[in-house]
Copies of this chain bind each other. A is one copy, B any other.
Amino acid sequence: MSSYWGEKIKISIFGESHGKGIGVVIDNLPAGEKIDMDRVLMHMARRAPGKDKTATPRLEKDIPSIMSGMLNNTTTGTPLCAVIENTNTKSGDYGNLLDKPRPGHGDYPGFVRYHGYNDIRGGGHFSGRLTAPLVFAGSICRQILYRRGIVISSHIASIGDIKDNMFDPINIPTALSHRLNTETFPLINKDKEGVMREYIDIARMKQDSVGGIIECCATGIEPGLGNPMFGGVENLISSIVFGIPAIKGIEFGTGFDLTKMYGSQANDPYTYDDKGNVITTSNNNGGILGGITTGMPILFRTAVKPTPSISSTQKTIDLSTKSNTELEIHGRHDPCIVPRATAVVESALALALINL
């Protein structure tokens, strides 16, 4: 496994930030699925930089060109490949990174892994830009899931110490998910937007960056999906979510806070609802027990570290002279990628769920 992922529906992501193009092959999609390309582009736009002052001023078009697998906006069932050409790249910005690895980035381990042959420009294959094809693939899949009653959404749970309200784990209205799906700064409590943006802005002024937490959910999941042990839904989701750059943690349901509860509080009691469906009256397990779905909303939070590319001077090494040195990164960088990453995390969840 590497830049390829999946069992039933596989994706193979390729490209480097400043190469000719990036893209994805999606293998084994169901045939005959009508795809609304405007909606795919909407989610890609949510991820794309340059929307507003939380993001980098780069203007990328990121219009995917469909090479195969679709005819009349309908999946053919054979591999779907989309290519996004890289047009707006300024490789000069990264010249000194060849020798001076950026702290917090994949530069140094990538240099060792590839014996110095990897394309370092713009982060190369490690660039956050590689999440564009992931969002493309996920946005195809979430439409297929939506047709089967599954709704995916996420919001910015926190930026630094500033918290949004959390999802109600047993009742996530579809209307709320729909609203979040159209926003570039998705929050349950929109009153928090001002203070969060201000916090990000202060970091930018200081040539610094901040991180945050994304809470993501899926509703409409039937019970009994997934497999025991290593084939569990948590394993599946985390195996793709950690493929998103800057993700350093994931927790399902109540997650780490479960460790402070008693079993009598943590256990989710079963009951029949008035339609005769089995539900739980709490959802501390995030819709997953024994690796298998319970039918309650799937719910997880994931930690996004502060953008490692910052403009202030940092200590690093010079691999050519084998000595300690300092680094100033120029170029165009996000002080906070959390808002853009919401579309990426949702896409990862869509890809995980379509593999069930």
Range for the number of chain A residues in contact with chain B: 35 or more
Q: Contact at A258–B291, with CB atoms within 8 Å?
A: no
Q: Contact at B248–A212, with CB atoms within 8 Å?
A: no
Nearest residue in B to A82 (C-beta to C-beta)?
B14
User: Could you jot down 11 A-B contacts, CB within 8 Å?
Assistant: A3-B231, A20-B68, A22-B67, A77-B118, A78-B125, A101-B270, A104-B263, A211-B258, A267-B314, A270-B315, A281-B315
Which residues of A224-239 are within 8 A (CB) of B? 224-232, 234-236, 238-239
Q: How far is the CB of A356 from chain B (nearest CB, A)?
A: 11
**A88 lies within 8 A of chain B by Cβ:** no
Of A5-13, A40-48, A142-150, A177-185, the segment with at least 4 beta carbons within 8 Å of chain B is A5-13
Nearest residue in B to A323 (C-beta to C-beta)?
B272
Q: Contact at B225–A113, with CB atoms within 8 Å?
A: yes
Q: Contact at A13–B113, with CB atoms within 8 Å?
A: no
Q: Contact at B74–A286, with CB atoms within 8 Å?
A: no
Interface of A is mostly: mixed
- Choose one: B110, B252, B281, B315; the contact of A269 (CB below 8 Å): B315
User: Which B residues are in CB contact (< 8 Å) with A114?
Assistant: 31-32, 76-78
User: Which B residues are in CB contact (< 8 Å) with A234?
Assistant: 242, 247-248
Task: Return the CB mask of A261-302 against B: 1 if under 8 Å, else 0.
Answer: 111111111111000101011001110111111110000000
